Amino acid sequence: MNREKAQVDRRVFTDEAVYRAELQQIFARAWLFIAHESQVPNPGDFIRTTMGEDDVVVVRQRDKTINAFLNSCPHRGNRVCMVDAGSKARGFICNYHGWSFGIDGKLRGTDGKVYETDEAFEKSEIGLTPVARIASYKGLVFATFDPNAPDLTDYLGDFTFYLDIMLDNDEGGTEFIGGAIRSEIDCNWKLPAENFVGDILHAFWTHQSGAQAILGGGVDLGKRYDELAFQASVYGHGIETNLDKVGNTRTLGYPELVDYVFDLSERAVERLGELRARAIGAISSATVFPNFSFLPGQNTFRVWHPRGPNKIELVSWTIVNKNAPDHIKELYRKGVMMTFSPGGVFEMDDGENWEYSTRVNHGFVTRQQPLHYALGLGTEDKSRELPGHIHKGSLNDANQRLFYTRWSEFMEHDNWSDLQNGETASPKKTNIAAE
């Protein structure tokens, strides 16, 4: 990222060496989203995921805590958990030579008597490798491979103020419903991450026809642009939002969901204050650095798992308030499938753009031309009492510039004190109760 010129070098989207450095500098250090607590409610419940390209299994323990381990047998490396999710497992048995592991990751047994008679074999020293740290924020479980990483709340910083729009707008918290949707897109992982961190600009063009199909022929998404809209960014995490309350929710196509958000309003104001209550279903999008994104009001949560410089595996879920009525939950599930699933009207629009943006950047001459990220230079708004770097208007590249600034901080700095005190840190501590 060239901050002065607001340009990004295209090679970050295609270069194999850059990608390998990202796995080391970003994905092996950052806190990464691995599960929602509701996905593993009981001891022995598990899901399989990845952190970067590392296969991981997330398991609810007997003492109700959640732990996560590399999904790789310490014998010859085979995957020990082959399925995407399951419940009430007592352990995992490796297919290759039959070593078995408890849900605590410890080696429980080996096939036959061979190892028992091998005096040098010390069973208690062998097990699945746990992640270095694991922690939850309001139902979302994150993990890091870096034992020196700061606490999760410090990593998220003031961005929790904005996460709460989605996670804490009603009592009872949230849950994921209906399983995970997996798909592959031939694009670099940063393109969707930067899209969700602050690219409402594309929506008014890319998604115009899809929105018309759902909302009716006369609708003009651009006309819904709100003068109070803003972008907020902390440590490269970012949200861009209007304050129209239901702009996103409307595009799910069910008026009952719009009514639900309005019914929620009074309670949401009590919990979040007036301003954030106006964002719970508004035209908005967000990314938690590096690769975890969501859409308030459209209720899709998703991770853009890197699979090489030119490929991602997208895993997405539907999130709902736990105490929402069952028929409302079902409408959210249907609405998300209709819009943000591989066959959904909006997701299909996006995937093609990201694939061509990645593919074309490969060209020898093309990749030497920097990309333009200069929309909204000089729009920082220091007058609003909101946490983070605030920029006026959501039609702005500000959050994307801060996303790539954070990316550079991770790629350049080896210690966390430099990482946490850089340019992307929140410029001020705000009394959030005042909002």
Residues annotated as part of the active site = 97, 199, 202, 207, 350
Distance in Å, CB of 94 to ligand FES, minimum = 3
Kindly compute the dihedral angle of the four CA atoms of residues 329, 335, 338, 340, in this order, to the nearest 10 degrees: -90
Shorter beta-carbon distance to Fe ion: residue 143 or 200: 200
Binding partner selected for residue 294 from ligand FES, Fe ion, none, CB under the kind-specific 5 to 8 Å limit: none
Distance, in Å, from the CA atom of 241 to the CA atom of 252, rounded to the nearest integer, reads 17
Distance, in Å, from the CA atom of 405 to the CA atom of 422, rounded to the nearest integer, reads 9
Binding partner selected for residue 97 from Fe ion, ligand FES, none, CB under the kind-specific 5 to 8 Å limit: ligand FES
Residue 197 near residue 399 (C-beta atoms within 8 A) = yes
Shorter beta-carbon distance to ligand FES: residue 73 or 246: 73
Q: Report which of 140, 324, 159, 346 is spatially closest to residue 241, judged by C-alpha positions.
A: 159
Give, as ranges, the residues between 42 and 81 that touch ligand FES (CB under 6 A). 73, 75-76, 78
Give, as ranges, the residues between 332 and 371 that touch ligand FES (CB under 6 A). none
Build a one-symbol-per-residue string for 318-357: x at contacts with Fe ion by CB under 5 A, - elsewhere. Answer: --------------------------------x-------
Q: What's the 3-state SS for 270-325? A: HHHHHHHHCCCCCCEEEEECCCEEEECCCCEEEEEEECCCCCEEEEEEEEEECCCC
Residue 376 φ/ψ region, left for φ over 0, alpha for ψ in the -120 to 50 degree band, beta for the rest:
left
Shorter beta-carbon distance to ligand FES: residue 97 or 322: 97
Shorter beta-carbon distance to Fe ion: residue 350 or 397: 350
Distance in Å, CB of 97 to ligand FES, minimum = 3
Binding partner selected for residue 345 from ligand FES, Fe ion, none, CB under the kind-specific 5 to 8 Å limit: none
Distance in Å, CB of 122 to ligand FES, minimum = 16
Q: Which helix (H) or strand (E) holds 373?
A: none
Shorter beta-carbon distance to ligand FES: residue 92 or 294: 92
Kindly compute the dihedral angle of the four CA atoms of residues 185, 248, 252, 158, in this order, to the nearest 10 degrees: 60
Q: Report which of 76, 113, 122, 114 is spatially closest to residue 95, judged by C-alpha positions.
A: 76
Binding partner selected for residue 96 from Fe ion, ligand FES, none, CB under the kind-specific 5 to 8 Å limit: ligand FES
Binding partner selected for residue 350 from ligand FES, Fe ion, none, CB under the kind-specific 5 to 8 Å limit: Fe ion
Give, as ranges, the residues between 209 and 268 that touch ligand FES (CB under 6 A). none
Give, as ranges, the residues between 73 and 132 that touch ligand FES (CB under 6 A). 73, 75-76, 78, 94, 96-99
Chain-centroid distance of CA 237 in Å reads 10
Q: Quick one: 70 exposed, middle or buried, by C-beta within 10 A (0-12, 13-18, 19+)?
A: buried
Helix, strand or coil, per DSSP, at residue 387: coil
Build a one-symbol-per-residue string for 149-168: x at contacts with ligand FES by CB under 6 A, - elsewhere. Answer: --------------------
Binding partner selected for residue 362 from ligand FES, Fe ion, none, CB under the kind-specific 5 to 8 Å limit: none
Shorter beta-carbon distance to Fe ion: residue 194 or 244: 194
Q: Quick one: 76 exposed, middle or buried, by C-beta within 10 A (0-12, 13-18, 19+)?
A: exposed
Helix, strand or coil, per DSSP, at residue 176: strand
Binding site for Fe ion (CB under 5 A): 350
Binding site for ligand FES (CB under 6 A): 73, 75-76, 78, 94, 96-99
